[in-house]
């Protein structure tokens, strides 16, 4: 079991009622999660609807989040793109804004790539990378799994810091931890597996629920670290998993935004297509689960 752990927030991207970028909302959201105690923030990831942002909006989100976060809050910037040149441009911009590292998914168009193809893509991404890179396995969004063998091979590079796994596949996480160096960081991206991953030796989570439930995540992780797995299991079962299930049902960005808006943390729960906002009944359901 891990004796220490991190909780980082994959930031939603606030929009106004018309769907325009809400810069002040980004600032207040970063301040909100930092005040809660998170170890770091991850702008422009999947929960941040990065694929709906224009190039200028992307730069604005990264700049605003990175400059608002205090020095002791890590900033891991999502730099996903289907071409290596764009990934490099986004990495360079993140570095200019003071980010600590970046998060990169496999190329997400063209079907299931071979292991050799994915390894070649990441080798090109890692060449002269200005920041450490976290690999990101999220097959439900990308359309392919980053194989355990590819992760193990890439983990030998000094440029690779670790992995965020959002597959929901606990045996996959276990195999990655067994086949990578001891200093290779493995973050859980599926809130329903936060406690099991830490019990198995994971390093914490990049958790959408940390927008709202940092104290509960901290409590669960601390319980695991102190050997009180029963307490951690209770928090996971009674608090984290029901909200994680709601996010899986309605979508992480729409659900988290609905809850943040309900609590007055952001002004609007607006999402961009192809995501859709929660119905009033769904909002009532998820707020009831949160309470």
Q: Which residues are marked as active site?
A: 136, 164
| C-alpha distances in Å from residue 174, one per residue of 13, 199, 202, 222, 261 | 31, 10, 9, 20, 36
C-alpha angle 74/76/77, rounded to 5°? 140
Is residue 47 annotated as involved in ligand binding?
yes
Residue list for the binding site for pyruvate: 47, 206
Residue list for the binding site: 47, 206
């Amino acid at each position: 079991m891990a004796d220490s752990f991190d909780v980082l927030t994959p930031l939603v991207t606030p929009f106004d009622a018309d769907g325009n970028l809400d810069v002040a909302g980004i600032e207040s959201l970063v301040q909100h999660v930092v005040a809660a105690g998170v170890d770091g923030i991850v702008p422009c990831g999947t929960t941040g609807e990065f694929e709906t942002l224009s190039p200028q909006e992307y730069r604005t989100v990264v700049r605003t989040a990175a400059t608002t976060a205090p020095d002791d809050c890590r900033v891991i910037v999502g730099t996903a793109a289907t071409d290596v040149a764009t990934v490099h441009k986004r990495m360079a911009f993140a570095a200019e804004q003071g980010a600590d590292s970046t998060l990169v998914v496999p190329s997400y168009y063209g079907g299931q790539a071979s292991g050799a193809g994915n390894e070649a893509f990441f080798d090109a991404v890692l060449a002269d990378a200005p920041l450490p890179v976290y690999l990101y396995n999220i097959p439900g969004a990308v359309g392919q799994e980053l194989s355990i063998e590819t992760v193990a091979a890439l983990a030998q590079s000094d440029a690779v810091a670790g992995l965020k796994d959002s597959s929901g596949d606990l045996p996959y996480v276990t195999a990655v931890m067994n086949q990578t160096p001891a200093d290779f960081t493995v973050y859980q991206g599926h809130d329903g597996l936060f406690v099991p991953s830490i019990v198995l030796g994971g390093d914490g989570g990049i958790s959408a629920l940390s927008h709202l439930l940092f104290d509960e995540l901290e409590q669960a992780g601390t319980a695991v670290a102190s050997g009180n797995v029963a307490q951690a299991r209770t928090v996971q079962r009674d608090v984290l998993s029901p909200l994680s299930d709601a996010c899986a049902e309605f979508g992480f960005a729409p659900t988290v935004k609905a809850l943040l808006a309900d609590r007055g943390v952001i002004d609007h729960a607006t999402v961009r297509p192809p995501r859709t906002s929660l119905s009033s009944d769904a909002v009532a359901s998820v707020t009831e689960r949160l309470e």
